[in-house]
Every structure is written in C-alpha cells, then in structure tokens.
Amino acid sequence: MADERTPPSDPPGTTLVAEPETTTQDQEEQDLKLQQTVEIKDIGPCKKHVKVTIDRAVIDKQFDKRFTELTRSNQPQVRGFRPGKAPRKIIEKQYYDSVAEEIKSRVLMASLEQLAEDQAISPLSPPEFDPNLVSIPKEGPFVYEFDIEVRPEFELPNYKGMKLRRPVHTYTPAEIEAEKRRLLEPHGQLVPKEPPVADLYDTIVADVTISYQGKEINKLSEVRVRVEPQLALSDGIAYDFGEKMKGAQPGETRVVDITLSQENRVEYLRGVKVQAAFAIQDVKTTRLPELTQSFLEEHFMVSTPEMFTELVQAVLQRRLEYLQRQSARQQILEQITAASDWELPQDLLRKQARKTLARKIMEMQNAGLTDEQIRGRRRVLEQDVLKNTAAALKEHFVLQKIAEVEKIEIDDDDIDREIERIAEQSGESYRRVKARLEKEDLMEAVAADLLERKALDLILAHAVYEDYELKPTDQPADVATVEVQAAPDTAAPPPANSSDAPTSDSPNTT
C-alpha cells in the first residue's frame, strides 16, 4: 500500500509547504517564557560578553507542538503517502531541519526580548551576533553567546544646585562692527591691499614649503588663504597662524608650526609638528558691499542698516549663550567624571565619530555661527577625532542618563519643531530639510541633540551661578580653511633622528 512505503529523502534546503492553522497557541508562543541562565562578563571598556543557556524542556515542548500541528489535516505533502496519512516519525525525519530553524528563530526572539527585560544592559548598538552561526542541538540545552557594546556605568552626583561659573559679556560697538564685517565679507570683492601689509582677516597668496626636522617633505604653490587666528589644512592645524602672519609683506617669508592629524596616512607624521615656510607673493583685502535695501533684503531679510545692526547683536547674543552652554557642559562633565575613570574603546569612538561630529555641527548652527566658521572649527575637531569624540560621548552619556532619571523624552512633535527651526534659519523648506536629514541619516542626531538640550536646560535651571567676564582669549579662535595637505600621501622614511613620537602640547581650541 502506498502509505507503507518509505518516502525518498527531500533535497537539502527543503522548507515546509504548509503553515500551521492560526490557533490560540500562536499567542502562547508569542508570550513564550523561557527557563534560561544568563552569564554576563566584562571583556573591556563598555563591552560585555553574554552567554545564554536555554533549558532543553522548552525546546522539546516546541518541537512536540510543531510536529503535532504537522500531523493534523494540514500536514505537508510527503511523497509516497496520501495527504494526512504520513506517520509522525516520517514527518519528523523529513522536516526536522526546517522545524528546527523555525523554532530557533522563535526561541531566539523570545530569549532576546526576555534578556532585555530581565537584565540591566544598556546597549549602544545591536549585539555582535549572527543567528545563522548557531543551531539547536538534538540533545541538551540550547546555548548562544555574543559580545555587545554597552553604555559606561557611573554614578550621577547631585546635578540640581550645581555651582557653575558662567561667562558673561556686553559686546562693544567695535565687536559689533567686526561681526558685521564677518557677515558681509563673503559678499564683498577681493582687491589688492595698499599698502600690502597683512593683518587679521586679509587674504595672502603664498608659496609654502613644508619641512620636518629640517627636511623638505612637501611644496605647495600659490596657496590663497585668509589670515585668521588659526589655519586648518586638510591634515593639520597652525594654531598661531594669525600672529605669525601679521605685518607680512610680499617678498617676506614667515614660518609657522603645523600640528598634523593623528589620522595621517604616513605613520611617523601622525600628530607631529612640521614647519611651513610661507613665501608671501601678494596681500589682498575685501571691499565690503554697500548696505542698500535690496542687498540687505536679499541676503539678511532686513531692510535697513539699523535692522542689520539689531540682527548682528542677536547673532552675538546667541553665540554667547552657546559659549555659556558649552562651558556648563564641560563643568558638569568634570564634576561627574572626577569620581570615576572613564575609558572608551577605540572601535566605539571610531564608529561614533560621524554622529558626534554631526551633533557638534548642529550645536554650532544653533549658535548662529557662519558656514565658514563652522567649516574651520569642524576641521579642528577632525584633527584629533578620537579625543574629541571621547569628550562628546561622555557628555552624551551623562546627559542621557540624567534624561532617563528625569523621564525626559523626545516625541515626533519635538523633532518636527526642530526641523521647522532649522528650515527657518537656513531659508529652506521644511520638506527639503527633512529629506536631507533622512538622506544623510541624521534624524537620530537631531533627536539626540534635542534630548541633551532638554537635560542640560534642567541642570541650568537649578544651577547656582558665579558670573565672570568673558575675555577674548576665552572665546574659540576663528579658523581659516584651505583645501591642501601639509604632508604628502606618501613620504620618504623618517630622518635618522626622528623620535616617531607625536607632540602632545597642541592647545585645546574647541
């Protein structure tokens, strides 16, 4: 008889033809409660190894339930047997691999959900775990394990009533005029300066020779650069550029130190100081545009010079508030980390660098910094990306934990209002800004920035302040940018007397 024959084996990869009927058991499986043992070990800064052992009894119960379903009227076709007539043992043999894979997926999902509920783990990213590399054994418990990055553990001090020093400042007419000039210069005309003596915010044209320990490693021709207090090249920062260039005239050579990036492609040049000799060829200045009604309306959305002055004062005030918040964040972080030694792994820092930089840029945009100012400060942040990311991540963890304690949350309305504010500030439409943020995968950064702002606002609202006058040296230096590299992509071996050790005395300008 047909139902007495042994069916041929199905080829590898055979999947179930029929799905079980929808029954009350489906809900039971969704609410699956596992008997599992969890072992968690620290394996490094912000990293844990998790080993989960699931009791065999629940696995066997799931197998029995599934094979019982398959032997009912909806059982799959088994060659050599009429529908519904195949013995259970034959079904178990033919479909074991498919059922095991199905149960593995179901049990893993339930296990991970249960793990998240039962264990105090705050993951920074999905676990380093590939389900395809584990399988349910035919006997014994089901064991799987993975590594996961977690937030650092630390105790919050009393953040309400913190004593903070707050910088205050009343901007002088000269400072207001200087800011006006900064806003107008991008719309001005570059003309020869008479007499051709360089000063801050002029533009120089120079041939540049880069040397390391007395040996020339690169040469740049006709570099045009604005004289700002600092200069950011693609791979390095000249921290005293403005002072060294003041008074320079065509025919003179001025030498500045450039601290190269820690990410330099040439290993022995990472973080070291090289010397850049600027042979001045020309000095130019900017002729500012006339403040006509049409010009002001087109570029600044005001109609009179008086309204433009009010706009500049508002920009400076917003920038002062940014400095106050940055100062507060630094002091809060110092007080919280004073009692604990934080160490963040290098791979975590590298993965978070882009998101951290995006949040920093948003903060600067909120403060009303110009695109040129943001570009320069971004370049400075990128020079020592891991160090700057570490500081920003610590701020993020502290403020995020305060937000959790205070039950501060961000909803869709908050994000919509923030997008509207960005759109208004940039002169773009809401839809255009939202599409750009989504395309660049920055919506998470927007939400994180909003959450941190709310947490910081709570701290600041309860802080006790000691005001002090903001000095020019306390403000972040303006940074000129130029799209050239001080060091070549490849270089000769280091000089014989090279120590290969990077310098560590670069000033902190961020």
Contact 332, 162 (CB under 8 A): yes
- pLDDT value of residue 7: 37
Let me know the angle formed at the C-alpha of 232 by 373 and 254, rounded to the nearest 5 degrees: 120
**258-287 per-position pLDDT tens digit:** 999 887 888 889 889 999 999 999 999 999
pLDDT class of 483 with cuts at 50, 70, 90: confident
Task: List, in order, residues 6 or more apart from 199 with CB less than 8 Å away.
Answer: 227, 246, 247
Residue 23 reports pLDDT greater than 60? no
Contact 364, 377 (CB under 8 A): yes
List pLDDT tens digits, range 348-378: 777 777 777 777 777 777 767 777 777 777 7
| Euclidean distance between CA atoms 412 and 435, whole angstroms | 15
Cα 188 from Cα 38, distance rounded (Å):
67
**Which burial class, exposed, middle or buried, applies to 190 when counting CB atoms under 10 A from its CB (0-12, 13-18, 19+)?**
middle
CATH value of 189-287+477-510 in 3.10.50.30, 3.30.310.160, 1.10.3720.10, 2.40.110.10:
3.10.50.30
Which residue, 462, 342, 347, is CA-closest to 396? 342
Q: Which of 160-169, 324-333, 497-506 has the highest mean pLDDT?
A: 160-169
pLDDT-derived band at 154, boundaries 50, 70, 90: confident
Structure tokens at 425: 């500030």
Q: State the first-to-last Cα distance of the chain, in angstroms, to the nearest integer.
A: 85
**pLDDT at residue 327 tops 80:** yes
The pLDDT value given to residue 373: 74
- Distance, in Å, from the CA atom of 280 to the CA atom of 290, rounded to the nearest integer, reads 30
CATH class of 163-168+291-476: mainly alpha
Confidence of residue 215 (pLDDT cuts 50, 70, 90): very high
Provide the CATH number for the domain formed by 2-149 in this structure: 3.30.70.1050
Tokens 């079904």 -> residue? 91
Mean pLDDT of 282-296: 95
Spans of all domains in the chain: 2-149, 163-168+291-476, 189-287+477-510
pTM over 0.75: no
For residue 391, what pLDDT is reported? 79
pLDDT value at position 78? 64
Q: In 3-state terms, what secondary structure has residue 138?
A: coil
